[in-house]
Amino acid sequence: MKSLSRLLAITKKEVRQLRRDRLTFGMIVGIPVLQILLFGYAINTDVRNLKTAVADQAETHLSRQFIAELGESQVMDIVARVDTAGELEDLLRAGKISVGVLVPPDFERRVIDPGRAAAQLLVDGSDPTISGIANQLRIMPVAFDTNLQQERVNNIEVRPYYNPERRTPVNVIPGLTAIILTLTMTMFTAVAIVRERERGNLELLINTPVSSAELMVGKVIPYIVIGIIQIALILVVGDLLFQVPVRGSVVDLYLAATVFIAANLSLGLVISTAAKTQFQAMQMTIFLILPSILLSGFVFPFDGMPLIARYLGELLPATHFVRLARGIMLRDAALLDLYPELVVLGVFTVVAMTVAALRFTKRLD
C-alpha cells in the first residue's frame, strides 16, 4: 500500500508540473495536429499537373490531337511549346519542366508501325515518382480517329481494396499515429527523467524511500494518458479533414495503442538512463525517429526494402504499430488476426523496462 501511495505521489507531482509546463502541454496537442496537416496535405503519391513542354515537329492533325489528349489526362500541364529536342533538354535541365514531349516529323508513319515508338517522353528521372507516373503514359493509345482503335487486351484488372479511391491520407494517417506516438512518448519520458537529473531532483528522490520501479511507473502514467488523448485527436482530425475510416474495433485499436505506448515509454526510459542532458535526450530521440519514419513501412512499402533494412525495421516498435493500425483501421482486422505484432511489442516493452530499471539503480556510481 505504501508503495502504491508513493507511486501516486509521483504521478500527482508529475501532472502538477506538466500543467505548468506550457511548452510541453502545447506539444501534446500541437505535434499531432501539425503532423496530420503536413503529412495529410503534403504527401501525395497521386501525382498530377506535371509541368510539361511540347515539341511538335509533325504539326499534323493527329499530332495536335495526341497532344490535346495528353493535356486532358490531367497528369500533364503543358506550359511551353518549343521546336527541338535540344530545347526540351534545356528546359528539363533548368528544372522548368518535369516532362518533355517530342513528336517527331514522321509521327503518322510511326503510329501505324507497331515496331516503332510514335513519340518520345523526356522525363526528369531524378525523381523516381515522376518517372513512374510518366511510365504509365506509355500505354496511352494513339491511333487515327478514322481507324478502329486497336483492341487492347487487359490481362490484369486491378481492384484496389480498402482504399478504392487511392487517397494517400487513408494510407498515411494510420501510419502517422505510430510516428507521432514514437516521437512524443519517447521524447516526453526521456526528457522528463533527464530534466530531474539535470535539476538535481533525482539526487533527492533516490534518497527517499521511493524505489526505482515506483519512480519510473509513477512518472510514466501521465504520459500513457497523454498518448491515449493524442490517438483520439489523430482519429478525430483524420476523420474530419481526410475522412480516414476506422473500420475495425476502436477498442482493439486502443488496446494495441496502449501496448505500443508502453513500448515507447520504456524506450524513453532507456534513453533517460543514457543521456546526461535534456539536449542529449532530444538528440537520441531524433536518432530513433528517423529510422522509425523510413524503415517502419510508414513511407516505403515494407516488403520492397532490402533484407537488412527489413531486419532493422522489425526491431522498431513503430513498424509493428504501423501494421496494427493499418490492419485495424483500414482492413477491419481483429486484434487476434494481428497478435504476433502485439507479442513483439509486449516483449520489446518488457526487455526495455528491464534494461532501464537495471541501469537506473546504478546511476550515481
Partner 1 sequence: MGPDYAIEARGLSKHFGDIRAVHELDLSVPRGQIYGFLGPNGSGKSTTIRMLCGLLTPTEGDATVLGTPIPGSARRLKPRIGYMTQKFSLFGDLTVHENLQFIAEIYSVPKNEHGARIDELLEKYDLVAQRRQMAATMSGGQKQRLALACAVLHHPELLLLDEPTSAVDPQSRRDFWANLFRLAEAGTTILVSTHYMDEAERCHRLAILDRGVKVADGTPHDLQATTGMHIVEVEAEDPYAAQAALHDLAWVASVTQLGVRLRVLVPEHHGEPVQRVEAALAGAGVAARTRLSSATLEDVFVAVTMDAAERSA
Provide the binding-site residues for partner 1, judged by CB under 8 A. 2, 5-6, 8-10, 12-13, 16-17, 20-21, 199-201, 203-211, 364-365
Nearer to partner 1, 223 or 298 (CB): 223
CB of 362 to partner 1, least distance (A): 9
Total Cβ atoms within 10 A of residue 148: 7
- Alpha-carbon distance 353 to 210, whole Å? 17
Nearer to partner 1, 11 or 292 (CB): 11
CB of 223 to partner 1, least distance (A): 17
Nearer to partner 1, 5 or 154 (CB): 5
CB of 216 to partner 1, least distance (A): 15
Please name the amino acid found at residue 67.
I
Nearer to partner 1, 135 or 208 (CB): 208
CB of 275 to partner 1, least distance (A): 19
CB of 14 to partner 1, least distance (A): 10
Task: Write down the residue that cell numbers 511549346 correspond to.
Answer: 81
Nearer to partner 1, 215 or 338 (CB): 215
Task: List residues bridging with 45 in a β-sheet.
Answer: none
Q: Which three cell numbers stand for residue 85?
A: 529536342
Percent of the chain as helix, strand, coil, to the nearest 5:
65, 5, 25
Strand pairing of 76-82 and 50-56?
Answer: parallel
CB of 191 to partner 1, least distance (A): 14
Per-position b or e across 20-42, b if 16+ CB within 10 A of its CB: eeeebeebbeebbeebbeebbee
Stated length of the chain: 365
Q: Which three cell numbers stand for residue 356?
A: 532501464
Backbone angles phi, psi at 305, to 5 degrees: -85, 155
Nearer to partner 1, 13 or 310 (CB): 13
Total Cβ atoms within 10 A of residue 242: 19
